[in-house]
Structure formats: structure tokens, C-alpha cells
């Protein structure tokens, strides 16, 4: 008797920066320009510590480097500069757009779960050919940023699905920590940071060639493993 294929996830929850679009260089450029405009020197090491972090933390670090602006103004300015760069060129991560589209065609609900502000998240979403995101959870709609699980739990609640039946896709340790704590099955996609010890259920080098059925298989395996260890 042939076994049936694993069920598709109840939803797929996507991180944005570094996962769907490779905006980290854009953020780093915007940060460097802002710090230097105040006579400071921004470093690559400092920029790397902010990968996956909430913009509130980024603003505090900018202030420590001499930027004499209120945190909210820093967040808005950095976001605007990154959006301008995205408008000139959308830096899709390999396989992301194709997987977004395939999931949409299969009827799988998808959420954008990002610590960027809402207007930037919607800006990026607007470049996806289809209206693939059923909801957007951004930094300005949660009280606690990643690595707290609030953003992922909010996405699942908004979609009306059990977080345990979802797959989250992340590229940073901070994001993986958030998704794991929420109870989702988590796929870490290597980019700027090594995710081998991040706690992700699976760590892949790319999303290129990945299909909705691949995500279904991961979810089934993760839930089977969890049941056996319970």
C-alpha cells in the first residue's frame, strides 16, 4: 500500500531581510552613511551584530556611535534609505521568489514576519508578482522583538492556524531563536551567519529548487521526531 504524501504546512512564516531579499548590504550602507554624517566610524563588526535584530536595538547602537537623533527618527531614516535602494534593485535571495509563488499556487497561507517596520515590509511585498502574504507582522505591531517568539505567535494567531503545524524560514540566529521558541518547525537558510548551532530543525545552504512538498516533508519529520522524544 502506497503511503500518502505528507500534508502541506498549515502556513509558512517568512522572515524578510536576508531570507527573501538580501537587504543586509543595504542596511549596512545606510548605517555607515548615517554614522559618518555625525563624524563617527561604522565598522563591519558592529553591522554584523545587528543582523536579525529589531530596529530599536539598531537605533540604540547608532546612538552609541554618535548619532544624535531620537531612536524613531533613526529607524525611519534607515528604512527610507533601504527602501530607496530596493526600488533601484530588488535583491532576491536564490529560490525565495519561486518558493513563495509555488506555495501561493498550492493554496498555502503565508505570513511575512519581520523586524523591519510595516511600510518597508509592504514595500518589499509589493515587488512579489502575486499577493502571496495573508498577513504582515512587523516591528511596529509587536511589543517584543525577535528573539522573543511574539512575532511568530502573532502571525499564526492572525492566520488562525496552530503554530505547531507551520514552517518558519529564517536566516539569522536571532530569528531562528524566535521561531523555535514559538513552536514552529524551523528551516534556517545559511547566509551571512552560520546557523549550524542555532537550534533550527534543518539548516540549508539555499532555497533554490525547494518545493512546497519539501517543506511538508520537513514538517512531518520534525513532528515525528518530537512525538518520539515526548
pLDDT in tens, 106-141: 999 999 999 999 999 999 999 998 899 999 999 999
Q: Does residue 65 lie within any of the structural domains?
A: yes
Residues 63 and 115 in one domain: no
Instruction: Give the Cβ contact number of residue 47 at 10 Å.
Output: 20
Q: Is residue 55 part of a domain?
A: yes
59 and 96 in a single domain? The answer is no
Same domain, 56 and 102: no
Residue 141 lies in a domain: yes
Q: State the pLDDT at residue 3.
A: 64
Look at the chain and report how many structural domains it folds into: 2
Q: How confident is the model at residue 50 (pLDDT cuts 50, 70, 90)?
A: confident
Distance (Å, whole) CA 46 – CA 51: 10
**2 part of a folded domain:** no
Strand pairing category for 11-14 and 166-170:
parallel
- The pLDDT tens digits of the residues spanning 182-204 come to 999 999 999 888 999 999 999 99
Instruction: Specify if 202 maps to a domain.
Output: yes
Alpha carbons 137 and 49: distance in angstroms, whole number = 23
- Count the helix, strand and coil residues of the chain and give each as a percent rounded to the nearest 5: 50, 10, 40
Report d(CA 100, CA 133) in Å as an integer: 9
What percent of the chain is modeled with pLDDT above 90? 79
For residues 167 and 189, membership in a common domain is answered with yes
pLDDT > 90? residue 167: yes
Do 38 and 132 sit in the same domain of this protein? no
The model's pLDDT over 60-114, given as tens digits with 9 standing for 90+, comes to 999 999 999 999 999 999 999 999 999 999 999 999 999 999 999 999 999 999 9
Burial of 221 (0-12, 13-18, 19+ CB in 10 A): middle
For residue 156, is pLDDT > 50?
yes
Cα gap 165→190, rounded to integer Å: 23
Domain edge (last residue) among 66, 88, 110: 88
pTM of structure: 0.89
Asked whether residue 198 falls in the same domain as residue 225, the answer is yes
Q: Which domain holds residue 83?
A: 24-88
pLDDT band at 229 (very low <50, low <70, confident <90, very high): low
- Which pLDDT belongs to residue 228? 57
Residues 71 and 139 occupy one common structural domain: no
Same domain, 82 and 112: no
**pLDDT over 90 (residue 157):** yes
Q: Determine the average pLDDT of the residues in 170-192.
A: 95
Separation of alpha carbons 143 and 125, rounded Å = 22
By DSSP bridging, strand 110-113 and strand 11-14 are parallel
Task: Report how far residue 118's alpha carbon sits from residue 125's, in angstroms, rounded to the nearest whole number.
Answer: 10
Residue 138 phi, psi dihedral angles, 5° rounding: -120, 175
Domain boundary among 88, 116, 142: 88
CATH code for position 133 = 3.40.50.1000
Residue 223 corresponds to which cell in the numbers above? 513532528
pLDDT for res 226: 73
Give the CATH number of the domain where residue 70 resides.
1.10.150.240
Partners of 101 in the β-ladder: none
How far is residue 68 from each of residues 60, 62, 177, measured CA to CA in Å? 11, 9, 32
- Could you tell me if 112 and 221 lie in one domain? yes
Amino acid at each position: 500500500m502506497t503511503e500518502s504524501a505528507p500534508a502541506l504546512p498549515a502556513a509558512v512564516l517568512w522572515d524578510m531581510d536576508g531570507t527573501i531579499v538580501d537587504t543586509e548590504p543595504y542596511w549596512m550602507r545606510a548605517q555607515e552613511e548615517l554614522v559618518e554624517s555625525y563624524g563617527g566610524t561604522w565598522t563591519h563588526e558592529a553591522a554584523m551584530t545587528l543582523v536579525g535584530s529589531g530596529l530599536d536595538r539598531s537605533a540604540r547602537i547608532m546612538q552609541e556611535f554618535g548619532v544624535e537623533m531620537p531612536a524613531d527618527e533613526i529607524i525611519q531614516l534607515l528604512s527610507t534609505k533601504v527602501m530607496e535602494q530596493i526600488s533601484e534593485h530588488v535583491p532576491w535571495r536564490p529560490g525565495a521568489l519561486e518558493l513563495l509563488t509555488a506555495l501561493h499556487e498550492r493554496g498555502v497561507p503565508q505570513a511575512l514576519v519581520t523586524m523591519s517596520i510595516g511600510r518597508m515590509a509592504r514595500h518589499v511585498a509589493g515587488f512579489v508578482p502575486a499577493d502571496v502574504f495573508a498577513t504582515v507582522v512587523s516591528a511596529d505591531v509587536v511589543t517584543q522583538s525577535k528573539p522573543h517568539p511574539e512575532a511568530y505567535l502573532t502571525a499564526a494567531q492572525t492566520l488562525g492556524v496552530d503554530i505547531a503545524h507551520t514552517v518558519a524560514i529564517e536566516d539569522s540566529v536571532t530569528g531562528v531563536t524566535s521561531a523555535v521558541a514559538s513552536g514552529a518547525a524551523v528551516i534556517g537558510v545559511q547566509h551571512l551567519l552560520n546557523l549550524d548551532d542555532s537550534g533550527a530543525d534543518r539548516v540549508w545552504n539555499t532555497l533554490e529548487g525547494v518545493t512546497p512538498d519539501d517543506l511538508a516533508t520537513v514538517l512531518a519529520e520534525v513532528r515525528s521526531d518530537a512525538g518520539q522524544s515526548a
